[in-house]
Amino acid sequence: MKKIIHTEKAPKAIGPYSQAIEANGMLFISGQIPVNPANGEIPESIEEQTEQVMKNIGAILNEAGYGYEHVVKSTCLLSDMANFKVMNDVYGRYYEVGPPARAAFAVKTLPLNVLVEIETIAAK
């Protein structure tokens, strides 16, 4: 059975999808973009955008009773691979011990023309 996870502490979905779905002890978090849920603003720099994305992921993890330590896989989408190092540095601060498996790709365009989007899978 699946359970829909939603929190006001992360941005609302901008399409026909859930923020996250929990099923069989696993949490599947939809790609998070750097929208501040409090004011709808998007920071400018890749560093600030990655930080906001990670906060959004954290809010969803917390709402579902998970933490960053439960994350087993991330997929990072970047609008430009030139931003990889900065994104990686910010991302790495959240996973200093036992980081999850991960893939990172450059894509042509991301929703709302943001610089980064990260989807996440966690398991207990």
pLDDT average, residue stretch 24-52:
97
Split at pLDDT 50, 70, 90, the class of 34 is: very high
Whole-model pTM? 0.96
Residue 11 in this model has a pLDDT that exceeds 90:
yes
The pairing of strands 20-23 and 26-32 is: antiparallel
Q: Which domains does the chain have, with CATH numbers?
A: 2-123 (3.30.1330.40)
Q: In whole angstroms, what is the distance from residue 84 CA to residue 104 CA?
A: 8
Residue 14 in this model has a pLDDT that exceeds 90:
no
Q: What percent of the chain has pLDDT over 90?
A: 97
Q: Which 8-state DSSP code applies to residue 62?
A: H
Specify the higher pLDDT residue, 13 or 69: 69
Output the CA torsion sign for 84, 32, 77, 119: positive
The pLDDT of residue 1 is 85
Residue 72 in this model has a pLDDT that exceeds 90:
yes
Q: In whole angstroms, what is the distance from residue 21 CA to residue 18 CA?
A: 7
| pLDDT tens for each residue of 75-98 | 999 999 999 999 999 999 999 999
Alpha helices, DSSP H only, in 11-122? 46-63, 84-94
Q: How far apart are the first and last CA of the chain?
A: 16
Q: Which 8-state DSSP code applies to residue 88?
A: H
48 contacts: CB under 8 Å, gap ≥ 6? 34
Conformational region of residue 113, where left means phi above 0, alpha means psi within -120 to 50, and beta covers everything else = left
Q: Torsion over CA of 86, 34, 79 and 106, rounded to 10 degrees?
A: 80
